[in-house]
Chain A
Amino acid sequence: MAYDLSFAKDVYNKSEMGHWIKMCMQCGVCAGSCPLRAHWQHSPRQLFQMVRAGKRDEVLKSSDMWMCTSCYNCIVRCPRELPITHIIHGLARYAETEKAVDPMQPTRRFAVEVFWKNITATGRVGEAMLTMRLYFQDGIGAGIQRGLEMRDSALGMLKTRRLNPIPFRGKIKGYDGFTKMLAKAAELEAKLENKA
């Protein structure tokens, strides 16, 4: 059976730092270094091999690269000096742009629908709003439930002045320019992704 190289080529060209996958020698150091390794179906090493073997759907639909905590443990240990953390992030982002990932994948939901929306809405993280959006993403009932679970902590944060009681924060002064800048960057990014 011949390998289908089209997926590997796509990843090398369109996914951040994807071309580095070629350099992986399958030693498994990354697999042993990851704090979330108990929860993977496929380790970074295996994901890289699957990219090379053309397993497009299996890779892009995988939950594995969403398990990355950005601890950079793998990156400093890889004997081939692959920027593994960035490759993993790149694969996650690529799955997002290809709309291959399960929209309910919890870290995708948090990262894309809560965190990125939160920072681009005003220019800075609004922690209170971020927490509220996160808690209430599954509806009011689930939100109240989760809020109650964290009630003591939230009260502790409020009492020690580490949580703003007013969830709405103002926009940064240069917000218009900030938004235009992001739009332009996104446009150039799309070109970058399609350059192959």
Chain B
Amino acid sequence: MKEYTFFPGCSSEHNASAANMENSIQSMCRILGIQLNEIDDWNCCSASIGYAGGGQLPRMAMSARNFALAQKQKGNTDLVATCAACWLSMRETNERIEEEPRIKQDINTALAEAGLSYDGHIKTRHMVEVLIEDIGWETLKSKVTKPLTGLKAAGYVGCQTNRPFGVCGDSYENPLYLDKMIEATGATAVPFPMKVACCGGALMFSETEKACVLTKQILQSAVDNGAEVIITPCPVCQLNLEVYQGMINKTLGTHFNIPILYYSQLFVLAWGGSWQEAALHQQVIPAEPLRRFA
């Protein structure tokens, strides 16, 4: 049994927008024998848009509080995040605390107000890094009992899982890990030139029309390349592509109806998990192309 400290993040909460990601990741970890120990009383990571209201210290203090709680509760065990934005802000904060003495000192002065302290040394990892580095491709493939043969999937990596840190040394311009994950389930990864294009991120809330043009191009490219589903590791990408699809159709005159799924949902189904365990009942755009494997 492998154990990790776990930071689910706000969108993975019960009844929140990425509940389908959280539920399928929990199923995935059950099958793999991974135990995720959630940090008790964690707070928001401040996400990528937090800079404007908080500036650097308040923004980083938010992540630092989670590290401080983690250190107190679980020691320096590797911390796993499943959301791209959480992973990114926590990694960035940790790096700056470890590399800039001035930041470390100020952060700890702030943390002291909450009766906490953090001295660095917790490695933040994305769930896909754990799958690739700690579980390994051979195991991921060997678990398949119901290969998704014939399913055509576009692997949409997006921005923040890919940049600035990247996953397992993969290329920024043409990362292959997600295609390899799709292929590991027996499905076919279609060529997808928009795999690292930006979905608009939080600008979907404030500059909706502009962001919709970006998501439209991504959806179009996937459909043009024959994809039946789009697979993503990121809850922001998932939300922007799925929930705004109806609005894109209405405002831009398109007719998309393509399910946007997480890599974890694909794995759970291919590993013999049920529709429910893969949280496929939690798709706003129903995952019909997967019915034939359920």
Please determine whether B49 and A115 come into contact, CB atoms closer than 8 angstroms. yes
Whether B109 is near chain A, meaning CB under 8 Å from some CB there, is yes
What residues of B have a CB within 8 angstroms of the CB of A164 in the complex?
15-16
What residues of B have a CB within 8 angstroms of the CB of A173 in the complex?
41
Whether B44 is near chain A, meaning CB under 8 Å from some CB there, is yes
Q: What are 15 of the A-B contact pairs (CB < 8 Å)?
A: A70-B202, A71-B198, A75-B163, A92-B52, A107-B206, A111-B52, A111-B202, A114-B205, A125-B10, A125-B47, A127-B10, A153-B247, A174-B114, A184-B109, A185-B106
Complex interface: stretch among A22-30, A42-50, A52-60, A155-163:
A155-163
Please determine whether B17 and A71 come into contact, CB atoms closer than 8 angstroms. no
A 12-37 binary contact with B (CB < 8 Å = 1; else 0)? 00001000000000000000000110
Whether B43 is near chain A, meaning CB under 8 Å from some CB there, is yes
Min distance, Cβ B218 to any Cβ of chain A, angstroms? 10
What residues of B have a CB within 8 angstroms of the CB of A76 in the complex?
163-164, 172
Number of A-B contacts (CB under 8 A): 212
Contact of A16 among B56, B113, B281, B282 (CB under 8 A): B56
Q: A89-B52, A116-B53 are in contact. Are A39 and B210 (CB under 8 A)?
A: yes
Please determine whether A161 and B243 come into contact, CB atoms closer than 8 angstroms. no
Contact of B53 among A73, A111, A162 (CB under 8 A): A111
Please determine whether B51 and A93 come into contact, CB atoms closer than 8 angstroms. yes
Name the prevailing secondary structure of the A interface residues. Answer: helix
Please determine whether B200 and A69 come into contact, CB atoms closer than 8 angstroms. yes
In the complex formed, the residue of B with least CB distance to A111 is B52
Please determine whether A73 and B163 come into contact, CB atoms closer than 8 angstroms. yes
Whether A124 is near chain B, meaning CB under 8 Å from some CB there, is yes
Bound CA span A117–B19, Å: 23
Count contacts on A: residues with CB < 8 A to the other chain.
Answer: 66
**CB proximity to B under 8 Å, residues A129-166:** 134, 149-150, 152-153, 156-157, 160-165
**CB proximity to A under 8 Å, residues B202-235:** 202-203, 205-207, 210-211, 214
What residues of A have a CB within 8 angstroms of the CB of B91 in the complex?
none
What residues of A have a CB within 8 angstroms of the CB of B19 in the complex?
160-162
Bound CA span A2–B62, Å: 43
Q: Which 8 A-B pairs have the closest CB atoms?
A: A116-B53, A177-B114, A111-B52, A125-B10, A72-B163, A156-B284, A70-B48, A110-B206
Whether A5 is near chain B, meaning CB under 8 Å from some CB there, is no
The listed residue with most B CB atoms (<10 A of its CB), out of A36, A72, A89, is: A72
Whether B283 is near chain A, meaning CB under 8 Å from some CB there, is yes
Bound CA span A161–B203, Å: 24
Whether B131 is near chain A, meaning CB under 8 Å from some CB there, is no
Please determine whether B15 and A161 come into contact, CB atoms closer than 8 angstroms. yes
What residues of B have a CB within 8 angstroms of the CB of A183 in the complex?
113
Min distance, Cβ A102 to any Cβ of chain B, angstroms? 13
The listed residue with most B CB atoms (<10 A of its CB), out of A67, A90, A134, A188, is: A188
Please determine whether A69 and B159 come into contact, CB atoms closer than 8 angstroms. yes
Contact of A97 among B15, B55, B109, B210 (CB under 8 A): B55
What residues of A have a CB within 8 angstroms of the CB of B65 in the complex?
174, 178, 181
Min distance, Cβ A174 to any Cβ of chain B, angstroms? 5
Min distance, Cβ A156 to any Cβ of chain B, angstroms? 4
**CB proximity to A under 8 Å, residues B247-261:** 247
In the complex formed, the residue of A with least CB distance to B44 is A119
Whether B20 is near chain A, meaning CB under 8 Å from some CB there, is yes
Bound CA span A36–B204, Å: 12
Q: A116-B50, A160-B283, A189-B56 are in contact. Are A177 and B116 (CB under 8 A)?
A: yes
Please determine whether A181 and B113 come into contact, CB atoms closer than 8 angstroms. yes
In the complex formed, the residue of A with least CB distance to B162 is A72
Please determine whether A186 and B58 come into contact, CB atoms closer than 8 angstroms. yes
Min distance, Cβ B160 to any Cβ of chain A, angstroms? 7
Whether B201 is near chain A, meaning CB under 8 Å from some CB there, is yes
Min distance, Cβ B148 to any Cβ of chain A, angstroms? 22
Min distance, Cβ B70 to any Cβ of chain A, angstroms? 13
Please determine whether B55 and A189 come into contact, CB atoms closer than 8 angstroms. yes
In the complex formed, the residue of A with least CB distance to B61 is A185
Whether A109 is near chain B, meaning CB under 8 Å from some CB there, is yes
